[in-house]
């Protein structure tokens, strides 16, 4: 079997709030000084899900695919060190500045070009914009089925058995292969690579494909292919105002609190 894990490199979500700045003119995040981008945590968990199936004894090849700049090779290497077999970087200036629509087109084209892919594993959402569209978008584009927000993924015969996290419980679904699954943090922590694997990963070369390699029209992807328009990017002003509710007795304090809440039309 051949699995694809989609991996995105994102600005570090643990950037201290004081170091997080945006350019309100260009609607762009200003990269924080000295803080390197990281692999989106949900994508590491997606890789973990694919690796667990491989470890359970299935004959699986895992290709990790990332659309991004040269620096995204680090994210690919990280998944290779966890145990993935091959790395593929989709890097083209034409891919930059778009929305999920362009990303889906590029990733789907790559998956088609790879050929014979049995399943695609994505994180439930990228930890920067948190849209959660890429996985289902790929399924839609390729005409495959998708199961989202999985906490457990298994392969049984020619079916993929996915346990999904719902707001009020879990749901187990069976999908035909090929399919797309998006994986949630309920699956568990991604593994820590062994040093021997890190060394092996360091020696592997990451294949690079451009828009031309994928046969994509530069005008259909990236900023020019975007369907969403970002109106305004800003850091909200957080503030607080504390009112101490007075009262002689607890009953009186409670009554005063209710009065205040009613006056503010909260109740």
Residue selected from 25, 33, 249, 251 as contacting other proteins according to rule CB under 8 A: 33
Site string for other proteins, 84-103 (x = CB under 8 A): --------------------
Specify the residue, 69 or 159, whose C-beta has the smaller distance to other proteins.
Answer: 69
Q: Should residue 21 be labelled a site residue for other proteins when binding is judged by CB under 8 A?
A: no
The answer to whether 137 and 120 have CB atoms below 8 angstroms apart is no
Residue selected from 52, 191, 204, 208 as contacting other proteins according to rule CB under 8 A: 191
Q: How far is CA 34 from CA 19, 31, 37, 70, 112, in A?
A: 10, 9, 10, 18, 37
Q: Should residue 24 be labelled a site residue for other proteins when binding is judged by CB under 8 A?
A: no
> Cβ of residue 34: shortest distance to other proteins, in angstroms?
5
> Cβ of residue 63: shortest distance to other proteins, in angstroms?
22
Residues 197-216 that bind other proteins (CB under 8 A): 198-199
Q: Should residue 128 be labelled a site residue for other proteins when binding is judged by CB under 8 A?
A: no
Q: Should residue 192 be labelled a site residue for other proteins when binding is judged by CB under 8 A?
A: yes
Residue selected from 12, 140, 152, 213 as contacting other proteins according to rule CB under 8 A: 12
Alpha helices of the chain — where are they, by DSSP H? Answer: 41-55, 73-82, 100-114, 134-142, 195-203, 211-214, 250-263
Token pair in block for residue 59: 């004959």
Quick one: residue 221, left, alpha or beta (phi over 0 = left, psi -120 to 50 = alpha)? Answer: beta
Alpha helices of 145-206 — where are they, by DSSP H? Answer: 195-203
Residues 34-73 that bind other proteins (CB under 8 A): 34-36, 38
Report how far apart the first and last C-alpha atoms of the chain are (Å, whole number): 57
SS3 86: strand
Quick one: residue 105, left, alpha or beta (phi over 0 = left, psi -120 to 50 = alpha)? Answer: alpha
> Cβ of residue 118: shortest distance to other proteins, in angstroms?
27
Specify the residue, 17 or 57, whose C-beta has the smaller distance to other proteins.
Answer: 17
Helix axes 134-142, 100-114, angle to 10 degrees: 50
β-sheet bridge partners, residue 10: 38
Q: Should residue 193 be labelled a site residue for other proteins when binding is judged by CB under 8 A?
A: yes
Judged by CB under 8 A, how many residues of this single chain contact other proteins? 20
Chain residues that interact with other proteins, rule: CB under 8 A: 12, 14, 16-19, 33-36, 38, 189, 191-196, 198-199
């Amino acid at each position: 079997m051949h699995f694809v894990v989609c991996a995105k490199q994102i600005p570090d979500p643990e950037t201290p709030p004081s170091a997080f700045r945006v350019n309100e003119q260009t609607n762009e995040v200003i990269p924080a000084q000295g803080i390197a981008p990281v692999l989106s945590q949900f994508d590491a968990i997606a890789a973990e899900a694919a690796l667990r199936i491989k470890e359970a004894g299935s004959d699986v090849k895992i290709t990790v695919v990332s659309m991004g700049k040269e620096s995204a090779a680090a994210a690919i290497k990280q998944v290779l060190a966890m145990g993935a077999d091959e790395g593929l970087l989709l890097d083209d200036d034409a891919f930059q500045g778009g929305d999920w629509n362009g990303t889906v087109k590029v990733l789907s084209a790559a998956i088609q070009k790879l050929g014979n892919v049995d399943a695609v594993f994505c994180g439930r959402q990228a930890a920067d914009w948190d849209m959660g569209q890429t996985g289902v978008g790929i399924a839609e584009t390729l005409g495959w089925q998708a199961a989202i927000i999985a906490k457990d993924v298994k392969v049984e015969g020619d079916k993929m058995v996915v346990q999904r996290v719902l707001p009020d419980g879990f749901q187990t679904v069976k999908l035909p292969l090929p399919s797309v699954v998006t994986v949630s943090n309920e699956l568990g922590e991604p593994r820590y690579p062994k040093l021997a694997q890190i060394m092996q990963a360091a020696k592997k070369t990451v294949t690079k494909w451009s828009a031309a390699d994928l046969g994509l029209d530069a005008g259909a992807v990236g900023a020019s292919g975007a369907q969403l328009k970002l109106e305004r990017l800003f850091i909200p002003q957080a503030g607080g105002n504390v009112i101490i509710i007075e009262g002689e007795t607890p009953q009186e304090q409670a009554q005063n609190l209710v009065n205040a809440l009613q006056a503010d039309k909260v109740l």
